[in-house]
Amino acid sequence: MVSQFMAAGNQTMVTEFIFSLFLHLHEGGLLFFILLIIIYGFIITGNLVIFIVIQLDMVLHTPMYFFISVLSFLEIWYTTTTIPKILSNLVSEQKTISLAGCLMQMYFFHSLGNTEGCVLTVMAIDRYIAICSPLHYPTIMTSKLCIQLTAGSCLFGFLIVLPEIVWIATLPFCGSNEIQQIFCDFTPVLSLACTDTSLMVIVDAMHAVAILATFLVIALSYIQIIVVILKIPSSEGRRKAFSTCAAHLVVFLLFFGSVAVMYLRFSATYSVFCDTVIAVTFVILAPFLNPIIYSLRNKDMRDSIRRLFCYPQRAGRVGT
């Protein structure tokens, strides 16, 4: 394994990092590669189908499905920032990434993740208005507002991480260049800097405030939603409302649960194995389950998929 360094004065500066976890897989790398490429293919295909179906089917042109399509679009890029590199590391002799590549991966991964968190928050507010104020819903959640909320989520997600990435880019890295994680992340990378990184405490506090604020907004929204749903006299109405909200809650708990465990620990340390399991949960598992939750469990989505992909084929066979 050849790692690149650059001499600077009396220090040897690191110009690329090694993902040391992949060095211990040996023959098992191919098995994990096959499993992961199947999962990645499903994530891309599933989210792409959801996005296309929502765009083409007029029945699904509602605020809720608009935000689901945005979430699916983001998931495609969110997973693409990490999984292709993980796949490469599983079978390649060179388990490395350049310093610039590492910074880019961190930036886009966290920017897209923050944007997804904002979209999930907007989706919770959308469901709150739809269930708690149904008469005012059409006048509040207009197409223009949906686009503005989406644009605001993207703007916030991509700008909030930028100062942190710029700061990390100015740090000197010397000595060890082995990252104890499956992708470039703040804590593993900063632990390799040969300078004082105590400023990270402030960054951790900012992360905590953002995550907790988002969690609070979503939690309060769904508490109000559940209270209103329990007052619905029709059992069928309660069942349908609970079904829709339950799907959103599962995605919310998977995404924010794993993110909170990873990024709200401050000085607490976990074993490398635990860190890896947590990372796999929000990098691979949560995106894998999203298409299932939003399409296979959703009757409207299943009906739309059948209309767009099944019925036209049947009509063509009848015509011939």
To the nearest 10°, report the CA torsion of 142, 143, 149, 152.
Answer: -140
Report the range out of 116-125, 146-155, 157-166, 202-211 with the highest average pLDDT: 146-155
pTM of the model: 0.87
Instruction: Say yes or no to pLDDT of 320 above 60.
Output: no
188 or 198, which is more confident? 188
Of all residues in the chain, the percent with pLDDT exceeding 90 is 39
Output the pLDDT for position 110.
Answer: 93
User: In angstroms, rounded to a whole number, what is the distance separating the alpha carbons of residues 50 and 36?
Assistant: 21
Confidence label for 141 from pLDDT (cuts 50, 70 and 90): very high
- Overall average pLDDT of the 150-175 stretch: 91
Confidence label for 175 from pLDDT (cuts 50, 70 and 90): confident
Q: What is the CATH number of the domain that holds 66?
A: 1.20.1070.10
- Using an 8 Å Cβ cutoff, are 290 and 251 in contact? yes
Instruction: Say yes or no to pLDDT of 35 above 60.
Output: yes
Output the pLDDT for position 318.
Answer: 42
- Overall average pLDDT of the 168-196 stretch: 88
In the chain, the number of structural domains is 1
- Reported for 224-233, long-range contacts at CB under 8 A and 24+ positions apart, including other chains, are 224/128, 224/132, 225/127, 225/128, 225/131, 225/132, 228/131, 228/132, 229/131
User: What are the pLDDT digits (tens) for 202-246?
Assistant: 777 777 777 788 888 888 888 888 888 888 787 777 777 777 677
Output the pLDDT for position 269.
Answer: 66
Length of the chain, please? 320
Print the domain residue range for 196. Answer: 5-319
Output the pLDDT for position 316.
Answer: 47
Instruction: Say yes or no to pLDDT of 79 above 90.
Output: yes
Instruction: Say yes or no to pLDDT of 315 above 80.
Output: no
User: In angstroms, rounded to a whole number, what is the distance separating the alpha carbons of residues 161 and 154?
Assistant: 12
User: What are the pLDDT digits (tens) for 250-290?
Assistant: 777 777 777 777 777 655 666 778 888 888 888 998 899 88
Averaged pLDDT of the chain: 84
- Overall average pLDDT of the 115-133 stretch: 90
Instruction: Say yes or no to pLDDT of 103 above 80.
Output: yes
Output the pLDDT for position 80.
Answer: 97
1 or 50, which is more confident? 50
Of all residues in the chain, the percent with pLDDT exceeding 70 is 89
User: In angstroms, rounded to a whole number, what is the distance separating the alpha carbons of residues 274 and 249?
Assistant: 24
Output the pLDDT for position 8.
Answer: 47
Output the pLDDT for position 23.
Answer: 78
Q: Which helix (H) or strand (E) holds 17?
A: strand 16-19
User: In angstroms, rounded to a whole number, what is the distance separating the alpha carbons of residues 65 and 306?
Assistant: 17
**Minimum mean pLDDT among 41-55, 152-166, 212-226, 304-318: which range?**
304-318
